[in-house]
Amino acid sequence: MDFLWLLSSIRNPVLDTIMLAFSYIGTPFVIAGIIGWIYLNNDKKEAYGISLSFILSCLLCQGVKVLARVPRPWNLDPTFKAVDASYSTATGYSFPSVHTQSITSVGLSCFYYNKKKPMRIISVALIVIVGFSRMYLGCHTPLDVGCAFLVTAVITAITWAIWNRHNRSFLDGNMLPFFVLAFSLALIFLVSALLINGTVDYANVKDSYETSGAAIGFVVAFLVEPRFICFSVEGSFKKKLIRFLIAVGGAVAIEFGLKAVFKDNIPMLVVRYALLTSWIMVLTPLISLRTGLAEKERAAQKLPQI
């Protein structure tokens, strides 16, 4: 807490706004947007690898959150105050920092997959500044941020090494998606058991259900797109932009539409995030193919149509 008190002494309105903006980069919608753009318009293989790192590290961190149940800094020290606008971004328990986990998984993945020096510098800089912003805002301690970074760095390095070497066999087989599915279902059962016996409340496990739903959507995409859709990321910038806007527009409609109707219904929370991921990774490519915004991959065009 001493470091957080030190950071609180240098707060000012301008710096608060800057740190809030950097912190927002680590939120699910921004991360989904980054991965979505790469998946739809740049490199599907890379996007699958980044998604895998993000989902596995997020499932693990959410599981640790509900098991450790570490309070937020302002609960550890009632005299400590976070930046007012940051409270809404601090959902669930404090340890580890999921904002840090999110940007670390994507940033390190981009670092591994891209050899260009500017991209690597940007990736590392974002990891550092987002992690720092969570401490500056008063939402996490250095332990929360440091452990999230270390755990995610290890998972991302392992995921990249295995995926980069064996992605074709994973795409052709069924082992990997069912491992992710089993991991997501295990998290659902864990948080549900803790919720039912009163150990945790809904507010502190909501993120776990959302993560599990997104993981299930990823499993659907991993099984469906390479086998039945096989869209190409090639196309004019205009087509790429429209594809991306379709993905974003549909995701926003699903998020706020289903949220307004079903509110805190837990099964529908899982379904909502599974649909969000499926919309971006399955339905948007399918719509793009049907409307001429994308074409089939050349290798897929040579295969006999069933």
**What DSSP assignment string belongs to 211-265?**
HHHHHHHHHHHHHHIIIII-B---S-HHHHHHHHHHHHHHHHHHHHHHHHHHTT-
Q: What value, to the nearest 5°, has the Cα angle with vertex 268 and ends 264 and 271?
A: 140
Q: What CA–CA distance (Å, rounded) separates 170 from 172?
A: 5
Q: How far is CA 179 from CA 40, 160, 174, 183, 218, in A?
A: 24, 17, 9, 6, 12
The domain spans of the chain are 2-295
| CA-wise closest residue to 52 among 181, 243, 169 | 181
32: closest CA among 239, 247, 177? 247
Q: Where are the alpha helices (DSSP H) in 116-141?
A: 117-136
Q: Which of 197, 200, 210 is nearest to 270 (CA)?
A: 210
Residue with tokens 């959507």: 217
Alpha carbons 42 and 33: distance in angstroms, whole number: 13
Contacts of 57 (CB under 8 A, 6+ apart): 101, 104, 105, 151, 152, 155, 156
Measured between alpha carbons, how far is 8 from 77 in angstroms, rounded to an integer?
A: 13
pLDDT value of residue 306: 32
**Helix/strand/coil for 55:** helix
Q: What share of the chain is helix, strand, coil (3-state, %, to 5)?
A: 80, 0, 20
Q: CB-based burial of residue 255 (10 Å sphere; 0-12 exposed, 13-18 middle, 19+ buried)?
A: middle
Residues 6+ apart with CB under 8 A from 249: none
Best CA proximity match to 156, nearest among 217, 221, 97, 101:
101
Q: What is the pLDDT along the chain (306 residues), one digit of tens a residue?
A: 889 999 889 999 999 999 999 999 988 889 999 999 999 999 898 899 999 999 999 999 999 999 999 999 998 889 999 998 888 888 888 999 999 999 999 999 989 888 888 989 999 999 999 999 999 999 999 999 999 999 999 999 998 888 877 666 666 666 788 889 999 999 999 999 999 999 999 888 999 999 999 999 999 998 899 888 999 999 999 999 999 999 999 999 999 999 888 888 899 999 999 999 999 999 999 999 999 999 998 765 443 333
In angstroms, the Cα distances linking 217 to 59, 67, 239, 280 are: 14, 25, 25, 9
Strand, helix or coil at 81?
Answer: coil
Q: What is the DSSP letter of 115?
A: -
Does residue 183 contact residue 208 with C-beta atoms inside 8 Å?
no
Count of positions (residues) in the chain: 306
Q: How many CB atoms lie within 10 A of CB 44?
A: 21
CA distances from 90 to 24, 105, 286 (A): 11, 19, 36
